[in-house]
Amino acid sequence: MINTTGWNRLRYTLYAPLYDTVAERAFRRPRRLALEQVHWQPGMRVLLVGAGTGLDLPWLPRDVEIHATDLAPAMVKRLVQRAEALGMDVQAEPMDAERLDFPDGYFDVVVMHLILAVMPDPAQGLAEARRVLKPGGQLCVMDKFQADDRPSGPLRRGFNAVTSAIATDITRQARPLLEGAGFVIEQDTPVLMGSLVRALLARRP
């Protein structure tokens, strides 16, 4: 199975020119519903991890401080262009989600949309999200997940060898990942394709 940081940086650099064509319309409603679950307050400091081309930006409040990262510089470049077109002040830079260059307890909200099913080590990515969140801070997740109450079967695991290399892992389970990282899940809402795509809101205790 190919799923490394280097491979992901390369393939998302290649995907960048076409990413919006594939992901904007398909995930527009799930993004909005996920972000509506967050308890927003003016002045919050927000981090978008694996922010891609910035498709979350239209659904964010205008009175918060926004930081955004993505592994691929080509994605970050397009995010900056989108932010400028929307008239939004966003601090964006290339960064590995598994090694965030921010201080402990720096953010009120961390948003992880369509990244936990992509990164090589989602447990490490969640550990970093927890580290940079303030106590009581909110984690907003939206992604494709295997059902929590049963493991993946042989067929799904076999198919995953292909999907994880070119798109996304289809065997990861939301609750075991988030709870294993020390988060308390407050909301868990199916938002697309039955319960395949879910929006979860969790807190750092």
Q: 126-174 pLDDT, tens per residue?
A: 999 999 999 999 999 999 999 998 777 777 776 666 676 677 887 899 9
Check pLDDT > 50 for residue 55: yes
What is the pLDDT at residue 167? 73
Amino acid at 178: L
Residue-wise pLDDT for 172-181, tens only, equals 999 999 999 9
SS3 57: helix
* Polymer length of the chain: 205
Least confident of 10-14, 165-169, 183-187: 165-169
Q: What is the pLDDT of residue 156?
A: 74
Determine the pLDDT at residue 136. 98
Check residue 159 and give its pLDDT.
63
Residue 150 confidence (pLDDT): 79
Instruction: Give the pLDDT band of residue 1 (cuts 50, 70, 90).
Output: very low
Provide the pLDDT for residue 7.
87
Q: Other CB atoms closer than 10 Å to residue 118's CB: what's the count?
A: 22
23, pLDDT greater than 50? yes
112: pLDDT strictly greater than 60 = yes
**Domains of the chain with CATH codes:** 5-203 (3.40.50.150)
How many angstroms separate the CA atoms of 53 and 38, rounded? 21
Tell me what pLDDT residue 190 has.
97
